[in-house]
């Protein structure tokens, strides 16, 4: 019989705009993650020598995020040098996969205490910089896809075409994300999950910079399409080109972490678990559409768990683009009111390597505040993949 893997705590930094001048652009990514790791251990009065491993997600593993940024961060946090760490890349689902690996290690009995975490400083290590100006695809990949794959923004446009999603629907959804996130922030819903970050000048950042409370359908309507080019328009003549910066997630800086352990070890340490991991899945999907994997991932995980979509109290479906949750809603028939009820990445930001554990924290906190039992998290990922995780509040 496997061990039960429980979530003891989940924390994150505020979301900073991932460009020069953003609130967190002066903080080294290893320091950003170290801030969360240090607080996670301190808040739970955990002896860090008990940590079996730290598994972190990061997408752009170059420059300041190279050389195993997770190990660098845990040492920067003051953990004993006996604590190991590794950094993984499953694109936007990196830290969600880190949490799955951590929980699976606990469930298998090969570990008792694992931290899953993630970091991305998009202001300091720009998206795409890890390729170093080189082509990441070899001749065999180009032979399989001779017309070439496309960016995620164009994939979102292809989703719009397939599911008949127009500009009004996308902008209305984006405005909803900001409205819900702003209301949640105003109520103090994020206060229990945010760790303040102190900058070099001594100023303290303790609120999400990416939420825009005044965002409306009207204010979004004037934005220009972000991904249309003449060449792409010639290749895809039927696309409406509805994706803008406003109905997409913003470039973001941030870090997050969750403390995972066996239920037995939590009891020994006098810690009260907040939720348990129930099921996991990961799927591959069409790399041209790229972002649709959340649909089969949801179907597979519910089938494995013996549950229906109506059994789930809240779903966190990452808002890489408004197109993704809207297509997901269409295919699953889920209750829109249970989808990203505190807003999603369009408002709360998408710090790529950190987003998985950021979503997990938001989901756990929402279930606790509302008394819900089941929570579903799904993340679309570059290259055509998706992770799904099912948790149960305790």
> Of 178, 242, 350, 366, which one is the catalytic site residue?
350
Give dist(CA 20, CA 17) in Å, integer: 8
Give dist(CA 356, CA 362) in Å, integer: 10
> Of 58, 117, 338, 380, which one is the catalytic site residue?
380
Give dist(CA 203, CA 326) in Å, integer: 39
Token digits for 352? 């790529």
Q: Check if the beta carbon of residue 359 is closer than 8 Å to that of residue 377.
A: yes
Q: Is 330 a residue of the active site?
A: no
Token digits for 170? 């996308």
Q: Is 92 a residue of the active site?
A: yes
Q: Check if the beta carbon of residue 73 is closer than 8 Å to that of residue 33.
A: yes
User: Tokens 């890890």 map to which residue?
Assistant: 130
> Of 92, 178, 242, 278, which one is the catalytic site residue?
92
Counting other chains too, the contacts that 330-335 makes at CB distance below 8 Å and 24 or more residues apart are 330/163, 331/295, 332/295, 332/298, 332/299, 333/309, 334/309, 335/310
Give dist(CA 195, CA 203) in Å, integer: 14
343, 345, 341: which is closest to 372 by C-alpha?
Answer: 341
With a CB cutoff of 8 Å and minimum separation 6, the contacts of 84 are 53, 54, 71
Phi, psi values for residue 38, rounded to 5°: -65, -45
Name the percent of the chain in helix, strand, coil, to the closest 5: 40, 20, 40
CA 285 to chain centre: 18
CA 258 to chain centre: 13
DSSP class of 11:
E
With a CB cutoff of 8 Å and minimum separation 6, the contacts of 229 are none
With a CB cutoff of 8 Å and minimum separation 6, the contacts of 189 are 342, 365, 366, 369
Q: Is 380 a residue of the active site?
A: yes
Q: Check if the beta carbon of residue 92 is closer than 8 Å to that of residue 350.
A: yes
Active-site residues, by number, are 92, 350, 380
């Amino acid at each position: 019989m496997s061990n039960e893997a429980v979530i003891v705590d989940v924390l994150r930094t505020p979301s900073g705009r991932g460009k020069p001048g953003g609130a967190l652009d002066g903080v080294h990514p290893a320091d950003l993650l170290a801030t969360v790791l240090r607080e996670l251990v301190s808040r739970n009065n955990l002896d860090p020598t008990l940590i079996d491993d730290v598994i972190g997600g990061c997408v752009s593993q170059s420059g300041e995020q190279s050389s195993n940024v997770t190990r660098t961060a845990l040492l920067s946090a003051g953990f004993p040098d006996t604590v190991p760490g590794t950094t993984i890349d499953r694109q936007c689902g990196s830290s969600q996969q880190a949490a799955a690996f951590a929980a699976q290690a606990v469930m298998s009995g090969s570990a008792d205490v694992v931290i899953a975490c993630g970091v991305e400083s998009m202001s300091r290590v720009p998206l795409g910089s890890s390729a170093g100006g080189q082509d990441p695809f070899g001749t065999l990949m180009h032979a399989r896809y001779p017309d070439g794959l496309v960016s995620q923004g164009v994939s979102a446009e292809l989703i719009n075409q397939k599911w008949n999603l127009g500009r009004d629907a996308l902008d209305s959804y984006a405005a909803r994300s900001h409205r819900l996130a702003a209301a949640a922030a105003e109520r103090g819903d994020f206060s229990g999950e945010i760790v303040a970050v102190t900058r070099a000048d001594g100023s303290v950042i303790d609120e999400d910079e990416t939420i825009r409370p005044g965002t409306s359908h009207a204010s979004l309507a004037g934005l220009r399409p972000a991904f249309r080019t003449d060449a792409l328009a010639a290749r895809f003549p039927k696309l409406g080109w509805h994706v803008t910066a406003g109905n997409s997630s913003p470039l973001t800086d941030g870090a997050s972490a969750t403390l995972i352990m066996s239920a037995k070890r939590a009891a020994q340490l006098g810690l009260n678990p907040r939720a348990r991991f129930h099921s996991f899945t990961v799927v591959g999907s069409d790399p041209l559409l790229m972002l649709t994997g959340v649909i089969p991932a949801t179907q597979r995980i519910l089938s494995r768990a013996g549950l229906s979509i109506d059994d789930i109290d809240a779903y966190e479906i990452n808002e890489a683009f408004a197109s993704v949750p809207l297509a997901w809603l269409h295919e699953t028939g889920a209750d829109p009111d249970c989808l990203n009820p505190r807003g999603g990445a369009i408002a709360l930001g998408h710090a790529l390597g950190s987003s998985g554990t950021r979503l997990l924290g938001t989901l756990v906190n929402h279930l606790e505040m509302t008394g819900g039992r089941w929570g579903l998290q799904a993340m679309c990922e570059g290259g055509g993949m998706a992770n799904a995780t099912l948790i149960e509040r305790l």
